Amino acid sequence: MEIYKINTPESLIAGNTYPGRGIIIGKTADGTKAAIAYFIMGRSVNSRNRVFTYKDKVLYTEPFDPSLVKDPSLIIYAAVRSVKNNIIVTNGNQTDTIAEGIDEGKTFGKALEAREFEPDAPNYTPRISGMLTFKDNDFTYRMSILKSIDEKGSACARFEYAYPTVPGLGHFIHTYVQDGDPIPTFQGEPERVYVCDDIDEFTGSIWDALDANNRISLFTQFVDLETGHDDVRIINKNK
């Protein structure tokens, strides 16, 4: 059935000039690894002035040229970090909100109740988040999107999705449908995508599909489910 179709990530990205920021979580086709991808794009000088850095197993967005930073609140944050047996990945500083909540015994969804979409009218950019929970040489994962319920930003609509793992299957959520003014927010459930076995193929296919003018940075991570060893790749347009 069409509802169970699995697309490649690149087929969903290619030709779309501005899907915004995106998260992919899934299991490799051979069933041995967890896979994560997070990318950022930018249209304004402030948004484009960013690079990814990876320090002590935490992924940060940082300014490429600090002298150009106008508003750091929505572009500088920890995007990926681990807490207990979880890896958290988000498009904003709600990464820390989730991590603090997990430390306090809260669930993923409960921790996010303290947050809502970004206050960047008229776009009201959604906050997208994901969390992998590892147990018994396997994992489950959750994804969330917090977005404005209307064009006025009058209230926050909250959607959470919980997934078991299936070899070769991942889910992809991004902030925007496509470019626009204002930019239309992501609609529907996270998209079903194929996850290959090779991290370099996975990384290259996503980066190459992102619009060359608007892509900024890409992070990918594979975690071996038996050993816990992880491989990481980072591509920054600003070098």
The mean pLDDT of 227-235, rounded to a whole number, is 97
With b meaning 16 or more CB within 10 Å and e meaning fewer, what string describes 95-112?
bebbbebbeeebebbebb
- pTM of the predicted protein model: 0.96
Q: How many C-beta atoms lie closer than 10 Å to residue 58's C-beta?
A: 14
Phi, psi of 113 (to 5 degrees): -65, -20
Looking at residue 106, which CATH number applies to its domain? Answer: 3.60.20.20
> What whole-number distance in Å separates Cα of residue 154 and Cα of residue 191?
27
DSSP state of 120: -
What are the residue ranges of helices labelled H in 104-219?
Answer: 108-112, 199-209
> What whole-number distance in Å separates Cα of residue 44 and Cα of residue 74?
13
Structure tokens at 125: 């950019």
Domain range for residue 188? 2-236
What are the residue ranges of helices labelled H in the chain?
Answer: 9-13, 45-48, 94-103, 108-112, 199-209
CB contact set of 19 (below 8 Å; sequence gap of 6+): 13, 41, 174, 175, 176, 177, 178
Torsion of CA 89, 54, 97, 62, to 10 degrees: -110
Domain count, the chain: 1
Mean per-residue pLDDT of the chain = 96
The predicted-structure confidence for 178-226, as pLDDT tens digits, reads as follows 999 999 999 999 999 999 999 999 999 999 999 999 999 999 999 999 9
The predicted-structure confidence for 109-158, as pLDDT tens digits, reads as follows 999 999 999 999 999 999 999 999 999 999 999 999 999 999 999 999 99
The predicted-structure confidence for 61-95, as pLDDT tens digits, reads as follows 999 998 888 777 777 899 999 999 999 999 999 99
With b meaning 16 or more CB within 10 Å and e meaning fewer, what string describes 12-46?
bbeebebbbbbbbbbbbbeebbbbbbbbbbbeeeb
Q: Is the pLDDT of residue 1 over 60?
A: no
